[in-house]
Amino acid sequence: MNPIAQYPFEISVEKVLKSSMVADPLTLLDCSPLTDGAAAIILAREDIAKKYTDTPVYLTGSGQASDTLALHDRSSLTGVLAAKIASEKAYKMAGVTAKDIPVAEVHDCFSIAELMAIEDIGFVSKGEGGKFVQDGQTKIGGKVAVNTSGGLKACGHPVGATGIKQAAEIVIQLRGDAGKRQVDGAEIGLTHNVGGSGATCVVNIFRR
Amino acid sequence: MHKTSVPGVWRRFKNRYQIVGTQCETCKTNFYPPRELCPKCRRGGKISEKKFAGLGKIVTYTRVHAAPAGYEKQVPYAVAIVQLEEGPMLTTQIVDYNTDELKIGQSVRATFRKMYEDGDEGIIHYGTKFTPIRES
């Protein structure tokens, strides 16, 4: 659905399960690829932005949090605490809750990372992520469309450009320019970007 | 003039070759690798050296099939987060295991092993790995 994705085609569950093992139980296709890519956004104050565009998108909330780099020093291995704190800060600043988000780009560097992400940022409660995805609630038309760009695994993960690429996808969605992957009537969107296996996380909330 | 041997220098890093860390005497929290400052007590903490028994349990694990540089010869190898009896958690390789012993909750003990080599003529790095404890 995203013509500029690195893998703009469907990949079956069988193909993922049959791809070579990387770190048990994650196979090659559970992992984001190596990607060359670039992304850009232009940030400006509202009055300046309006001189250049009739369709500005507003950054209404931004939160950052960090944690230890070593996984063995974390309080939990089944979630990313930094993502939870960063999202709470962003929701508070934007004056919205997880329920208000119709479209989001989350840091699915590995299959498991997307499930933890949607739990950490409060789209579902702890342990419900897998079922939520299986039920189609993260598809376009579900409760919240997650990774309409294809995410890190399909659109690609040009590490330093990924966070901006997520913001660009949300801007495209909020302007209604997403074509076949458009989330109808989306007015608010969220990005969730992780570094250092969860040692740092930034959550941004956008509004048209 | 006195010459320092390379192994002599490496051996000064006690925590590389033994499970030696530190303890905050104020709150009794143990740290491995050693910390010079207690993150809880800060200036109120008093840090002293602590030798751990090298016994613990597997908290979580994986088997690595696609290895980073230097570990290619070892695949597939098991990596686990182990919690020591004294509290601290560390990331380590699990060696000499039967498949059914690679499980959450498995009791393990520390063992001194070769870690990797810096090429054919470089230093051989040694350190600690863990192995399952078998009831005999």
Comparing CB atoms, the residue among B65, B81, B91 nearest residue A20 is B65
Q: How far is CA B109 from each of CA A158, B93, B104, rounded to the nearest angstrom?
A: 40, 11, 14
Task: Specify whether B46 is located in the same domain as B64.
Answer: no
Residue ranges making up the domain that contains B32: 1-51
* CB contacts, 8 Å: A72 with chain B: 59, 81, 89-91
The more confident residue out of B62 and B115 is B62
Task: Specify whether B104 is located in the same domain as B133.
Answer: yes
Q: What is the pLDDT of residue A199?
A: 95
- Please, are residues B41 and B22 in contact by the beta-carbon 8 Å criterion? no
Please state the domain count of chain A. 1
Instruction: Identify the domain boundary among B18, B34, B51.
Output: B51
The string of pLDDT tens digits covering residues A140-165 is 999 999 999 999 999 999 999 999 99
Asked whether residue A97 is domain-assigned, the answer is yes
The string of pLDDT tens digits covering residues B85-134 is 999 999 999 999 999 999 999 999 999 999 888 888 888 888 899 999 98
| B80–chain A nearest CA distance, Å | 9
Write out residues 44-103 of A within 8 Å (CB-CB) of B.
70-73, 77
Please state the domain count of chain B. 2
Q: Residue A24 and residue B63: Cβ atoms within 8 Å?
A: yes
Asked whether residue A100 is domain-assigned, the answer is yes
Token look-up 């009537």 returns: A185
Q: How far is CA B103 from each of CA A151, A193, A201, A205, rounded to the nearest angstrom?
A: 32, 32, 30, 40
CATH number, residue B86: 2.40.50
CATH number, residue A19: 3.40.47.10
Comparing CB atoms, the residue among B65, B81, B89 nearest residue A21 is B65
